[in-house]
């Protein structure tokens, strides 16, 4: 079974919380406390999400995080890219290939599964979550 990494799960929870609180900037301390997410880990995720154009940060007394303009057009695939989680499903689909490639008929099966999976991730907008 495919497992969703904690950083993806927590990022989706974070984005969902921000989407329900659009009237102000939200501090990571508030998100951490209300959603029971580890503060330091959330801080790392916020940096990645900011780099991916999903959230914006503002410093200062009324600072915090909010969703970036255009976030609704971002997809689950964009989220995975921002978090560095857009890795191949199996090693033979990666850059290094596979030592068992000769005589192995599974690569085409994995390619088909991964292609379908990625197509679906690119269809699902973050605002649909």
Tens of pLDDT along 16-40?
999 998 888 999 999 999 999 999 9
Six-digit token string for 97: 């290939």
pLDDT of residue 97 exceeding 70 = no
Instruction: Name the pTM for this structure.
Output: 0.86
What pLDDT is recorded for position 2?
77
Exposed/middle/buried for 126, CB within 10 Å: 0-12, 13-18, 19+? buried
Domains detected in the chain: 6-128 (1.10.10.10)
C-alpha to C-alpha distance for 37 and 35, rounded to whole angstroms = 6
User: Could you give the 3-state DSSP secondary structure of residue 113?
Assistant: helix
Q: How many CA atoms lie within 13 A of 68 on its CB side?
A: 17
C-alpha to C-alpha distance for 15 and 61, rounded to whole angstroms = 22
Are the CB atoms for 78 and 49 separated by under 8 Å? no
Q: What is the DSSP letter of 68?
A: P
What pLDDT is recorded for position 89?
79
Residue 15: closest CA among 35, 33, 1, 29: 35
- Between CA 70 and CA 104, with CA 85 as vertex, the angle to 5 degrees is 130
Six-digit token string for 25: 């900037």
């Amino acid at each position: 079974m495919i497992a969703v990494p904690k950083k993806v799960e927590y990022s989706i929870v974070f984005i969902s919380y921000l989407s329900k609180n659009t009237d102000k900037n939200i501090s990571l301390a508030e998100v951490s406390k209300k959603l029971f997410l580890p503060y330091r880990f959330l801080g790392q995720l916020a940096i990645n999400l900011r780099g991916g154009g999903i959230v914006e940060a503002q410093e200062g007394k009324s600072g915090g995080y909010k969703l970036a303009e255009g976030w609704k057009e971002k997809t689950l695939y964009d989220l995975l890219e921002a978090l560095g989680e857009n890795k191949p499903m199996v090693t033979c689909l990666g850059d290094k290939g596979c030592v068992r490639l000769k005589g192995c008929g599974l690569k085409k099966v994995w390619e088909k599964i991964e292609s379908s999976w990625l197509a679906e991730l690119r269809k699902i907008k973050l605002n649909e979550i």
